[in-house]
Amino acid sequence: MAETAPLCRYRATVAYDGTDWAGFQIQADRGTIQGQLESALGRLLRVPIRIAGAGRTDAGVHALGQVITFQAAWRHGTGRLERGLNALLPASIAVRDLRIAPEGFHARFSATDRTYAYNLSIGAGRQPLQERYLYRIGQALDMRAVRTATEMLVGRQDFGAFGQSPSGTSTVREVLGASWYDTSGADSRPGWSRPGSDLSLYLMGTAFLRGMVRRIVGTLLWVGTGVIDPPTFGDIVRSGDISRAAPPAPACGLCLWHIGYGPDGRGRRQDNR
């Protein structure tokens, strides 16, 4: 009689194109990333499996560095488990870097930081191979003003003007870094963006409110197009009033880029979550 495989905790990085999915978190009547992952694990392991994700991305949002954890009894090695999962998942979802997790490790509660990227393209000329992953705007942006406003986001403060707490509690969050990059090389100066510029905002924080990054981007676009100036942006941040912020920028431009777990990769202690 074959010996029963020990129950182990696993972690994996997951990348996905969120265009056709109703977000990460499982829903009873709509296709989600979590639902697809749990279905593939259940088929492979022949028992129901529940996963935990580091972030609950909304419908249409993408990920390069989502992290999941789950427990499973599997005797054939992590490489074979990863290959088996990818064989069962749809083409828009991929598991990579699957490994046994340290004791007590949890994808969400062990995370020390999260980084989101929001991708913009300036100009009317569409790029069919990229349109699913960026938000295209037709007018130039005053990047000097945008960068000035962006600097106001860094630090620990109430971000209630840009999002809602998933648990309905505090809207205080800490943004560790906020930077714009022109990945096209079309605009090396801190002035106005040029047609053809591909701009990316990277926001790193300990945690984010629901809809926070997309409302921040929408309001920064107000700054870039002259609807408001940087001091008014600062007033909106300090107000905590979500009705003063811009509507959320489209989901297609947002990507969960990276989840950090500290210098040793083991994350924070569970009793400090």
Residues identified as active-site: 58
- Give the separation between CA 196 and CA 237, rounded to whole angstroms: 30
Residue 145 burial (CB count, 10 A):
21
Return phi, psi of residue 152, to 5°: -70, -10
Distance linking the first and last C-alpha atoms of the chain? 43
Element (H, E) at 183: none
Q: How many CA atoms lie within 13 A of 199 on its CB side?
A: 30
In the three-class reduction of DSSP (H, G, I as helix; E, B as strand; rest coil), residue 84 is classed as helix
- Give the separation between CA 6 and CA 16, rounded to whole angstroms: 30
Angle at 173 between CA 167 and CA 200, to 5 degrees: 110
Length of the chain: 273
CB 91 within 8 A of CB 40: no
Q: How many CA atoms lie within 13 A of 187 on its CB side?
A: 21
- The DSSP code for 81 is H
Q: What is the rounded (10 degree) CA torsion for 163, 154, 250, 137?
A: 140
The C-alpha R_g of the chain, in whole angstroms, comes to 20
Nearest to 149 by CA among 202, 218, 203, 220: 220
CB 196 within 8 A of CB 221: no
